[in-house]
Chains A and B, each alone.
Chain A
Amino acid sequence: NAGVMQNPRHLVRRRGQEARLRCSPMKGHSHVYWYRQLPEEGLKFMVYLQKENIIDESGMPKERFSAEFPKEGPSILRIQQVVRGDSAAYFCASSPFPRGHNQPQHFGDGTRLSIL
Protein backbone atom coordinates (compact mmCIF):
# COMPACT_ATOMS: atom_id res chain seq x y z
CA ASN A 1 0.00 0.00 0.00
CA ALA A 2 1.77 3.10 -1.21
CA GLY A 3 2.19 5.92 1.25
CA VAL A 4 1.55 9.60 0.75
CA MET A 5 3.32 10.66 -2.43
CA GLN A 6 4.57 14.19 -2.91
CA ASN A 7 6.22 15.59 -5.99
CA PRO A 8 8.49 17.05 -6.84
CA ARG A 9 10.85 16.30 -3.95
CA HIS A 10 12.86 19.42 -4.72
CA LEU A 11 11.67 22.50 -6.57
CA VAL A 12 13.70 25.55 -7.49
CA ARG A 13 11.98 28.74 -8.61
CA ARG A 14 13.05 32.30 -9.25
CA ARG A 15 11.33 35.17 -7.53
CA GLY A 16 8.03 36.00 -9.21
CA GLN A 17 7.46 32.53 -10.68
CA GLU A 18 4.72 30.10 -9.69
CA ALA A 19 5.25 26.93 -7.68
CA ARG A 20 2.92 23.93 -7.83
CA LEU A 21 3.28 21.19 -5.25
CA ARG A 22 1.41 17.93 -5.61
CA CYS A 23 0.21 15.44 -3.06
CA SER A 24 -1.41 12.06 -3.66
CA PRO A 25 -2.90 10.74 -0.41
CA MET A 26 -2.74 7.15 0.69
CA LYS A 27 -5.23 4.86 -0.98
CA GLY A 28 -8.59 5.18 0.70
CA HIS A 29 -7.76 8.51 2.34
CA SER A 30 -10.00 11.41 1.44
CA HIS A 31 -8.65 14.03 3.86
CA VAL A 32 -5.51 16.01 3.10
CA TYR A 33 -3.54 18.44 5.25
CA TRP A 34 -0.72 20.75 4.17
CA TYR A 35 1.98 21.92 6.57
CA ARG A 36 4.97 24.20 6.07
CA GLN A 37 8.32 23.82 7.81
CA LEU A 38 10.51 26.88 7.73
CA PRO A 39 14.24 26.41 8.43
CA GLU A 40 14.95 25.57 12.08
CA GLU A 41 11.24 25.61 12.92
CA GLY A 42 8.50 23.10 13.54
CA LEU A 43 5.70 22.36 11.13
CA LYS A 44 2.88 24.87 10.84
CA PHE A 45 -0.60 23.93 9.65
CA MET A 46 -1.69 25.60 6.45
CA VAL A 47 -4.88 24.04 5.10
CA TYR A 48 -7.19 21.04 5.46
CA LEU A 49 -9.13 19.73 2.48
CA GLN A 50 -11.57 17.01 1.63
CA LYS A 51 -12.39 16.06 -1.94
CA GLU A 52 -13.57 19.25 -3.68
CA ASN A 53 -13.86 21.16 -0.39
CA ILE A 54 -11.62 23.39 1.68
CA ILE A 55 -12.53 22.68 5.29
CA ASP A 56 -10.03 24.84 7.20
CA GLU A 57 -7.62 27.33 5.63
CA SER A 58 -6.84 29.26 8.79
CA GLY A 59 -3.09 28.72 8.36
CA MET A 60 -2.86 29.88 4.75
CA PRO A 61 -1.25 33.24 3.98
CA LYS A 62 -3.90 35.66 2.76
CA GLU A 63 -2.30 36.27 -0.61
CA ARG A 64 -0.54 34.22 -3.29
CA PHE A 65 -1.31 30.82 -1.73
CA SER A 66 -4.14 28.52 -2.76
CA ALA A 67 -4.97 24.83 -2.45
CA GLU A 68 -7.32 22.40 -4.08
CA PHE A 69 -8.21 18.75 -3.89
CA PRO A 70 -10.26 17.86 -6.97
CA LYS A 71 -12.54 14.90 -7.33
CA GLU A 72 -9.94 13.21 -9.50
CA GLY A 73 -6.20 13.61 -9.12
CA PRO A 74 -3.83 14.87 -6.46
CA SER A 75 -4.15 17.78 -4.10
CA ILE A 76 -2.30 20.87 -5.32
CA LEU A 77 -0.72 23.62 -3.27
CA ARG A 78 -0.09 26.61 -5.50
CA ILE A 79 2.11 29.57 -4.67
CA GLN A 80 1.99 32.50 -7.06
CA GLN A 81 4.72 35.12 -7.47
CA VAL A 82 7.07 33.36 -5.07
CA VAL A 83 9.37 35.33 -2.77
CA ARG A 84 12.51 34.28 -0.90
CA GLY A 85 10.50 33.84 2.30
CA ASP A 86 8.53 31.02 0.67
CA SER A 87 11.64 28.81 0.79
CA ALA A 88 10.65 25.93 3.05
CA ALA A 89 9.74 22.28 3.17
CA TYR A 90 6.07 21.67 2.45
CA PHE A 91 4.55 18.50 3.82
CA CYS A 92 1.30 16.82 2.97
CA ALA A 93 -0.49 14.41 5.30
CA SER A 94 -3.59 12.31 4.75
CA SER A 95 -6.09 10.47 6.89
CA PRO A 96 -9.14 8.36 6.14
CA PHE A 97 -11.59 10.19 8.38
CA PRO A 98 -11.86 13.63 9.96
CA ARG A 99 -11.97 12.23 13.45
CA GLY A 100 -10.08 9.03 12.76
CA HIS A 101 -7.59 9.47 15.54
CA ASN A 102 -7.05 5.77 15.76
CA GLN A 103 -5.63 6.16 12.28
CA PRO A 104 -3.54 9.29 12.58
CA GLN A 105 -2.22 11.41 9.79
CA HIS A 106 0.36 9.84 7.48
CA PHE A 107 2.99 12.20 6.10
CA GLY A 108 4.72 12.36 2.77
CA ASP A 109 8.44 13.03 2.40
CA GLY A 110 7.81 16.66 1.55
CA THR A 111 8.71 19.09 -1.22
CA ARG A 112 11.70 21.30 -0.55
CA LEU A 113 11.10 24.62 -2.26
CA SER A 114 14.03 26.91 -2.88
CA ILE A 115 13.59 30.43 -4.21
CA LEU A 116 16.53 32.01 -6.00
Chain B
Amino acid sequence: AQSVTQLDSQVPVFEEAPVELRCNYSSSVSVYLFWYVQYPNQGLQLLLKYLSGSTLVKGINGFEAEFNKSQTSFHLRKPSVHISDTAEYFCAVSKSQGAQKLVFGQGTRLTINP
Protein backbone atom coordinates (compact mmCIF):
# COMPACT_ATOMS: atom_id res chain seq x y z
CA ALA B 1 0.00 0.00 0.00
CA GLN B 2 1.01 3.59 -0.53
CA SER B 3 1.04 6.39 2.03
CA VAL B 4 1.82 10.10 1.91
CA THR B 5 3.01 12.35 4.72
CA GLN B 6 2.89 16.10 4.47
CA LEU B 7 5.11 17.26 7.28
CA ASP B 8 3.56 20.69 7.83
CA SER B 9 -0.14 21.22 8.37
CA GLN B 10 0.21 25.01 8.11
CA VAL B 11 2.86 27.22 6.53
CA PRO B 12 2.67 31.01 6.94
CA VAL B 13 4.86 33.02 4.57
CA PHE B 14 5.27 36.66 3.71
CA GLU B 15 4.44 37.80 0.20
CA GLU B 16 7.34 37.55 -2.27
CA ALA B 17 9.23 35.16 0.02
CA PRO B 18 10.19 31.65 -1.13
CA VAL B 19 8.27 28.64 0.13
CA GLU B 20 8.78 24.87 0.33
CA LEU B 21 5.99 22.45 1.14
CA ARG B 22 7.29 19.07 2.17
CA CYS B 23 5.98 15.69 1.07
CA ASN B 24 7.30 12.21 1.78
CA TYR B 25 5.77 9.01 0.49
CA SER B 26 6.01 5.31 1.14
CA SER B 27 5.45 2.58 -1.41
CA SER B 28 6.70 -0.91 -2.20
CA VAL B 29 6.04 -0.39 -5.91
CA SER B 30 6.80 2.25 -8.49
CA VAL B 31 4.59 5.33 -8.17
CA TYR B 32 3.57 8.51 -9.88
CA LEU B 33 3.52 11.71 -7.83
CA PHE B 34 1.24 14.73 -7.94
CA TRP B 35 0.65 18.07 -6.27
CA TYR B 36 -2.86 19.51 -6.25
CA VAL B 37 -4.10 22.88 -5.00
CA GLN B 38 -7.52 23.47 -3.46
CA TYR B 39 -8.95 26.97 -3.16
CA PRO B 40 -11.79 27.52 -0.66
CA ASN B 41 -15.02 25.72 -1.59
CA GLN B 42 -13.56 24.43 -4.82
CA GLY B 43 -12.27 21.15 -6.16
CA LEU B 44 -8.67 20.17 -6.70
CA GLN B 45 -6.56 21.60 -9.50
CA LEU B 46 -3.44 19.83 -10.69
CA LEU B 47 -0.27 21.85 -10.13
CA LEU B 48 2.25 19.36 -11.47
CA LYS B 49 3.04 15.68 -11.79
CA TYR B 50 6.04 13.38 -11.90
CA LEU B 51 5.72 10.31 -14.10
CA SER B 52 9.30 9.60 -15.18
CA GLY B 53 12.35 11.31 -16.60
CA SER B 54 13.75 14.53 -15.19
CA THR B 55 13.40 14.68 -11.45
CA LEU B 56 12.72 18.43 -11.49
CA VAL B 57 9.16 19.05 -12.56
CA LYS B 58 7.74 22.45 -13.40
CA GLY B 59 4.06 23.19 -13.00
CA ILE B 60 1.57 26.00 -13.24
CA ASN B 61 1.65 29.28 -11.33
CA GLY B 62 5.45 29.19 -10.99
CA PHE B 63 5.56 26.07 -8.83
CA GLU B 64 8.10 23.29 -9.21
CA ALA B 65 8.85 20.05 -7.39
CA GLU B 66 11.80 17.70 -7.19
CA PHE B 67 11.47 13.95 -7.01
CA ASN B 68 14.08 12.36 -4.76
CA LYS B 69 13.85 8.58 -4.91
CA SER B 70 16.47 7.89 -2.24
CA GLN B 71 14.69 10.14 0.25
CA THR B 72 11.23 9.21 -1.03
CA SER B 73 10.36 12.88 -1.18
CA PHE B 74 8.56 15.19 -3.58
CA HIS B 75 8.80 18.67 -2.10
CA LEU B 76 6.98 21.60 -3.71
CA ARG B 77 8.72 24.96 -4.10
CA LYS B 78 8.06 28.46 -5.34
CA PRO B 79 10.76 31.15 -5.32
CA SER B 80 8.37 34.07 -4.69
CA VAL B 81 4.80 33.67 -3.48
CA HIS B 82 1.81 35.89 -4.09
CA ILE B 83 -1.30 36.54 -2.01
CA SER B 84 -3.28 34.52 -4.54
CA ASP B 85 -1.26 31.40 -3.63
CA THR B 86 -3.14 31.18 -0.34
CA ALA B 87 -4.79 27.75 -0.50
CA GLU B 88 -4.58 24.13 0.65
CA TYR B 89 -1.97 22.02 -1.10
CA PHE B 90 -2.16 18.24 -1.37
CA CYS B 91 0.54 15.80 -2.32
CA ALA B 92 -0.70 12.52 -3.81
CA VAL B 93 0.65 9.27 -5.22
CA SER B 94 -0.72 6.53 -7.40
CA LYS B 95 0.72 3.23 -8.48
CA SER B 96 2.36 3.42 -11.88
CA GLN B 97 0.69 0.16 -12.84
CA GLY B 98 -2.89 -0.81 -12.34
CA ALA B 99 -5.70 1.31 -10.94
CA GLN B 100 -5.13 5.02 -10.95
CA LYS B 101 -6.66 5.81 -7.58
CA LEU B 102 -4.87 8.56 -5.72
CA VAL B 103 -3.60 8.39 -2.16
CA PHE B 104 -3.46 11.87 -0.63
CA GLY B 105 -1.53 13.46 2.18
CA GLN B 106 -3.30 15.40 4.91
CA GLY B 107 -2.72 18.73 3.17
CA THR B 108 -0.73 21.86 3.94
CA ARG B 109 -2.51 25.15 4.39
CA LEU B 110 -0.36 27.89 2.84
CA THR B 111 -1.13 31.37 4.13
CA ILE B 112 0.50 34.36 2.49
CA ASN B 113 0.79 37.47 4.61
CA PRO B 114 1.27 40.93 3.09
- Name A residues whose Cβ lies closer than 8 Å to a Cβ of B: 4, 6, 31, 33, 35, 41-45, 48, 55-56, 59, 91, 93, 95, 98-102, 104-110, 112
Contacts and interface: CB of A to CB of B under 8 A. Distances in A.
B100 A98 contact: yes
Given A41-B106, A48-B99, A107 B51 contact: no
Given A42-B90, A104-B34, A109-B41, A98 B99 contact: yes
A100 B64 CA distance: 22
Contacts of A55: 99
A27 B94 CA distance: 23
Contacts of A4: 43
B42 A109 contact: yes
Contacts of B105: 42
Contacts of A31: 100
Contact of B43 (A44, A91, A104): A91
Given A101-B49, A102-B51, A104-B34, A45 B43 contact: no
A43 B102 contact: yes
Contacts of B74: none
A1 B100 CA distance: 23
Given A42-B4, A42-B106, A93-B44, 10 more contacts: A4-B43, A42-B104, A42-B107, A91-B43, A99-B100, A100-B100, A104-B34, A105-B102, A107-B44, A109-B43
A33 B51 contact: no
Contacts of A42: 4, 6, 90, 104-107
B56 interface: no
B33 to A, nearest CB: 11
Interface in B45-89: 45-46, 49, 51
A48 B101 contact: yes
Nearest to B104: A42
A110 B43 contact: yes
A4 B43 CA distance: 10
